[in-house]
Amino acid sequence: TDIGAAIVDADLFLIDDGAGGTMRKTAASRIKTYVGGGISEIDTWVYDDNESISAGNGTLSSNWSREDDGGFDKLGTGMTESSGIFTFPSTGFWRVDGHIYFECGGARDRMGVQLHVTTDNSSYDLRTENSNSCSSNGHKISAGTSAIIDVTNTTNVKVKMVYHASDSATLVGSSTVANTFMQFLRLGDT
């Protein structure tokens, strides 16, 4: 007979223990853990200060902090960051979003964001990028990009965000608003 209600953690299931014919009971909460029920990691890091940048590419290597405004708190262990390099707390498939916000130095400047990934904790490959163009000096623009990263080893697989700029500009950061930021979401097991 159908229980006629939603399954809750305290409900019990019968399981053939070791497929030997011995029936045992287990709580629904244990099955949920076994099959990976739900998102286990969410984290957001913000670039918390403005930075003058020059033309070219550069890793955003300082001024990172975990977002703590507007009621946000990480889910799970959370990422760690050192000199702009982000380390994953666990293996699995991760979605990483990078968003960057600029105040342009001139008209027709091109500004953008890139995600670079290493699988050997040494050499980084460009995975994704996106850019935008300025219409005038002082114009503010943004660009965002995302990637799915298969983290097979937390020591070797890391990610960093890189800006690319055709001219000097101001990278806009804030400790109270997520202007330039990275978000991390663990989607499932690898």
Of residues 120, 118, 98, the one with CA closest to residue 164: 98
The percentage of residues in the chain with a pLDDT greater than 70, rounded to a whole number, is: 97
Instruction: Classify residue 75 by its DSSP letter.
Output: B
CB 121 within 8 A of CB 85: no
Average pLDDT estimate for 41-67: 95
CB neighbourhood size of 151 (10 A) = 22
Q: What is the sign, positive or negative, of the torsion defined by CA atoms of 51, 56, 62, 64? A: positive
**pLDDT classification of 33: cutoffs 50, 70, 90:** low
pLDDT of residue 19: 84
Rounded to whole angstroms, the Cα distance separating 118 from 84 reads 13
The percentage of residues in the chain with a pLDDT greater than 90, rounded to a whole number, is: 66
Q: Is 53 exposed, middle or buried (0-12, 13-18, 19+ CB in 10 A)?
A: buried
